[in-house]
């Protein structure tokens, strides 16, 4: 499922660690590894376009896995 989400980037310290995008409406998405490192800054606001991957499970299991296709940094919180 392809989506566009606006929210805040968070680092979660579960296991080896995981990156999350917490949407403005409170939904937490786990960011799939391999994304551009410029996106991965805790507290950064971003608009992310991507695909929810229902065929992947992760160790962190903090929410649906989001494969980022593109993003726009909106600023810092």
CATH classification at residue 60: 2.40.50.140
Summarised one tens digit per residue, pLDDT across range 5-31 is 999 999 999 878 899 999 999 999 999
Question: Domain limits at 36?
Answer: 2-76
Residue with tokens 């937490």: 28
pLDDT at 75: 63
Total domains in the fold of the chain: 1
pLDDT digits (tens, 9 = 90+) for 21-67: 999 999 999 999 999 999 999 999 999 999 999 999 988 899 999 99
Task: Look up residue 36 and give its two tokens.
Answer: 């551009």
Q: Does residue 76 register a pLDDT over 70?
A: no
pTM of the model: 0.91
**E strand intervals along the chain:** 2-12, 18-23, 28-31, 44-53, 65-76
pLDDT at 77: 46
């Amino acid at each position: 499922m392809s989506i566009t989400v606006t929210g805040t980037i968070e680092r979660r310290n579960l296991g080896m660690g995981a990156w999350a995008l917490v949407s403005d409406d409170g939904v937490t998405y786990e960011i799939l590894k391999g994304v551009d490192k410029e996106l991965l800054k805790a507290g950064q606001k971003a608009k992310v376009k991507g695909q929810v991957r229902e065929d992947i499970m992760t160790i962190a299991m903090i929410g649906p896995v989001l494969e980022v296709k593109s993003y726009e940094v909106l600023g810092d919180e």
